[in-house]
Chains A and B, each alone.
Chain A
Amino acid sequence: MAFVKVVKNKAYFKRYQVKSKRRRQGKTDFYARHALIHQDKNKYNTPKYRLIVRVTNKDIICQIAYARIEGDYIVSTAYAHELPRYGVKLGLTNYAAAYCTGLLLARRTLQKHKLDSIYKGTTDITGGEHENEPVEGQKRPFRCYLDIGLARTTTGAKIFGALKGAVDGGLDIPHSTRRFPGYSREGKKFNADVHRQHIFGLHVSKYMTSLKEENPDLYSKQFSRFVKAGIEPSSFEALYKAAHSAIRADPSPTPKKEKKADAPKPKRWTKAGLARSSRRNRVQQRKTAFLKTIQGGDE
């Protein structure tokens, strides 16, 4: 048998330097973060804001943040689970919901910075390019940069839906139409109408209608919640249009609910640790029990 040197020996562990916490968790790409946060050598326009978009299984999170040496500060945030307030009750992680969340965040941020009357974005949604140009004599538009995190940049991804929502809401974010749904790589052309359909969830409603005809059982299984709520595929456009106008009417965040002193404590899912006295007591009991069994064996 050949002798193999143990690589992970004591000396290895003594000198091993772990990566930073967020890298170990696999949540932050520090190379991208460095580019987003650090300013160019010659430009010192503080602060540098970034639009963070994260899509989870059941929610979409949009935040605007800036970095300081002690950590990041969040300026404003919008979640897809806030959309039921504006009439969108189901389908909270689809492209249309991402657009709504981006729009909500943009209007909320502009309201906070008192820019909402100056920069309105577009109310007429065509899915095409829109740039928020600075209005003469007024403050410049709110500029931020998209932070995708570790998501894959594919054409038609929901992250870009949130980006489009924010841009149409009035934020100044440099982008191109290359990654919006409706861009074809062969022709290098952008079909704004396809994008518009995605923004209003018509791609989902089309699938719903086709599935309803072909396979009603599968339809009732896949879209059971929609069936239960009585939302028809044809009502999508009106639904989202109403949501957009409701968001523009009142984007302010809901005020925090004050926790009552006598509120019931939430359920504990993990086992609580024992107190020191309980642990000592337990050890003592096990000792006496063991000694008894030995004595019993002796006799």
Chain B
Amino acid sequence: MVKLQRVQRPKTQRGKRALKEREPKLLENARSLLCIRGNKTNNVMKVLLKNLHLLKSPHSKMYQRKNLDILPFDSTSKLEWYCQKSDCSLFAFVTTNKKRPNNLVLARLHNHITLDMFEFELNSKTFRSLDDFKCEKFATGNKPCLLFHGELFDNEPDYKRLKCFLTDFFRGEINMKEIDLNGLEHVMTFTIDSQTKLLSIRVYHVELKKSGHRIPRIELNEIGPHIDLTVRRTKLASDDFYKKTLKQPDAIKQKKVKNVTTNELGTKMGRIHMEKQDYNQLQTRKMKGLKRGLITENGQQSEEKRKKID
């Protein structure tokens, strides 16, 4: 039997605003993360999930309970439904079992359909959580600087997609016109080793110190979770679907203004196209004295004027 979904109409102004937030927009909101636990999780994975939740807050939602029948690589329908309910477009799913210990699945969705899904194994021996670093961290909602190290990120297609995915995952707010220098509080580095294919994630706090001149000296202190991941399985989107997601609505595209260009120095230049001109009929500045017919002796000119007054 087909399950009928009741169309919910908002009864309050607040509800109306909430639903409007969830509507598709020209410039979308920041991607929200849904943190979910699977059938069996150990303490290390719970801590990792909590850390991811904190890194992404306020754009993050944590589900507290265990979810028994979710297997992302078999079917993501339940996860997609939860993401739709919570208005999230990223999920982090955490489990551990004998076959796949310390398992972390990260995925992103497009229009509530899974785009890319990556399964990682966490190295629990080298993992250090946010609590293990006893120092002041960053303000909630701050955008990080993302650094990628490793040839694999540039060369192999799978890892290129992974780089794109990680950028999308940790980006934060999208529609930023200006950023205050003091607001770049933290840096996330993703290093991939070519031989061992180990992905290392480190998070640092940026400290601006006196340097003698205007540009401050930067020092990095490690603050965040110290994560080492090995890629297990991946489920990447087909090329057609991926191309579809890259499409942007026409309204966003910057309208090309004809005949206006900006040169490398930033100066705005315009071009005017002139039609062919007859230089004999050119209109120049009128100088009365040069007019034909008025060039006579001074005496005759004044006589003419007197006559007019009479």
A residues engaging B (CB < 8 A)?
A: 14-15, 17-18, 34, 37-39, 41-48, 66-70, 73
Contact = CB atoms under 8 A, between A and B. Distances in A.
B182 A68 contact: no
B55 A69 contact: yes
Given A43-B180, A44-B142, A15 B136 contact: no
A47 B139 contact: yes
B138 A68 contact: yes
A48 B180 contact: no
A42 B137 contact: no
Interface stretch (B57-65, B112-120, B287-295): B57-65
B64 A17 contact: yes
A44 B57 CA distance: 16
Q: Interface majority SS on A: helix, strand, loop or mixed?
A: loop
Contacts of A39: 139, 141, 183
Interface in B148-188: 173, 175-180, 182-185
B182 A37 contact: no
A24 B228 CA distance: 36
Contacts, number: 60
A37 B58 CA distance: 10
B145 interface: no
Contacts of B301: none
A15 B66 CA distance: 9
Contact of A46 (B57, B58, B65, B182): B182
Nearest to A41: B173
Nearest to B131: A70
Contact of B140 (A42, A69, A73): A69
B178 to A, nearest CB: 6
A173 to B, nearest CB: 20
25 contacts: A15-B65, A17-B65, A38-B141, A41-B176, A42-B178, A44-B142, A44-B180, A44-B182, A44-B184, A45-B182, A45-B183, A46-B180, A46-B185, A47-B139, A66-B139, A67-B139, A68-B136, A68-B137, A68-B138, A68-B140, A69-B54, A69-B57, A69-B139, A69-B140, A73-B136
Nearest to A18: B64
A21 B271 CA distance: 65
Contacts of B130: 69-70
A42 B179 CA distance: 7
Chain A CB within 10 A, most for which of B137, B138, B140, B173 = B140
B178 A69 contact: no
A182 to B, nearest CB: 33
The 7 closest A-B CB pairs, nearest first, are: A44-B183, A44-B180, A69-B54, A38-B141, A46-B182, A17-B64, A69-B137
Contacts of B65: 14-15, 17
Contacts of A18: 64
A42 B62 CA distance: 26
A34 B141 CA distance: 11
Contact of B179 (A15, A44, A47): A44
Contacts of A45: 180, 182-183
Contacts of A15: 65
Interface string B126-137: 000010000011
A98 B136 CA distance: 32
A48 B139 contact: yes
Interface in B53-82: 54-55, 57-58, 63-65
Contacts of B140: 37-38, 67-69
Listed residue (A15, A39, A47, A48) with the most chain B CB atoms within 10 angstroms of its CB: A39
Contact of B176 (A14, A34, A42): A42
Contacts of A42: 176-178
Contacts of B136: 68, 70, 73
Contacts of B63: 17
A39 B58 CA distance: 11
Interface in B180-212: 180, 182-185
Given A38-B58, A38-B141, 9 more contacts: A15-B65, A17-B63, A44-B143, A46-B142, A47-B139, A67-B140, A69-B54, A70-B54, A70-B136
A42 B140 CA distance: 14
B118 to A, nearest CB: 24
A34 to B, nearest CB: 7
**Which of A15, A38, A44, A46 is packed against the most chain B CB atoms within 10 Å?**
A44
A31 to B, nearest CB: 9
B183 A34 contact: no
Contacts of A34: 58
A91 B135 CA distance: 41
B287 to A, nearest CB: 53
B238 to A, nearest CB: 33
Contacts of B182: 44-46
B221 to A, nearest CB: 14
